[in-house]
Chains A and B, each alone.
Chain A
Amino acid sequence: MTAGFVLGEREQAAIREALAGLERHVDVLLELGPSSAPVTLLAAGGREVDTNATTRTIVESVCGLDDSLTLEVVEHHGPGPWPRTTIGEGLVYQGMPVGYELTTLVQAIVEAGRSESSLSAGSLERIETLERDLAIDVFVTPT
């Protein structure tokens, strides 16, 4: 795995434990772009990182920890919003899932693997009032 982004034994054990709670199968789609252009990332301590290769390593490692996960990898040859990971029915993460965002990725898989929503009854009631389609984007920076 790329230096600095190795899933340690303790990390793997924690992820395995979280994934053990999956109540149904979850498909994960990983879309990658050309790996020729490393970018400098604050999330990587200001180092140059091949985000596509690193994301592949991370997502493959996570998906390899539980049989309830199926990973499909698609390689794109042109520019685009890569790396992009799609969990289940449309939970999208654009970028390299490291630091806190690795936790979020695992939590998103756990949520997608639930048979019932973990939102409160009040929240579910409120979003049922939504009368049109809505897109939520959340910008994050892994720490």
Chain B
Amino acid sequence: MLLAYKLALASPRITARGIEASEFATEAERHGVHSVPAIVVDDRHAWAGSVPEPLFVERVLAASG
């Protein structure tokens, strides 16, 4: 979650939102979230699990393309 926030702070093009999956279960189900952390980029499920910063950045950029 923190990496998403760091990206949002570093780029005016990026917004970041953390969502507690059990409180917002309908939203989590809509995105096919089965495990956390689950990363959704532009409303599409991108991947699940924590990754190091360089990989996080590359995956976000890849998901945006």
Binding site for B on A (CB under 8 A): 39, 41-43, 51, 81, 87-96, 101, 104, 107-108, 111-112, 114, 117-120, 122-124, 126-130, 132-142
Contact = CB atoms under 8 A, between A and B. Distances in A.
Given A90-B8, A141-B22, A141-B36, 4 more contacts: A95-B18, A107-B2, A123-B54, A137-B43
A-B pairs with lowest CB-CB distance, top 10: A95-B20, A92-B17, A137-B40, A139-B38, A93-B18, A136-B4, A95-B23, A139-B21, A117-B10, A94-B19
B12 to A, nearest CB: 9
Interface in B1-40: 1-2, 4-11, 13-24, 27-28, 31, 33, 36-40
26 contacts: A43-B20, A91-B8, A93-B19, A94-B17, A94-B19, A94-B24, A95-B24, A118-B6, A119-B53, A123-B7, A124-B10, A126-B58, A126-B61, A127-B11, A127-B57, A130-B14, A133-B15, A134-B14, A134-B41, A135-B16, A135-B42, A135-B43, A136-B14, A138-B18, A139-B36, A140-B1
B10 A93 contact: no
Nearest to A112: B9
A51 B36 CA distance: 20
Instruction: For chain B, give the interface size range.
Output: 35 or more
B14 A127 contact: yes
Interface in B45-65: 53-54, 57-58, 60-61, 64
Given A89-B9, A104-B2, A120 B53 contact: yes
A101 B42 CA distance: 22
A101 B39 contact: no
A142 B64 contact: no
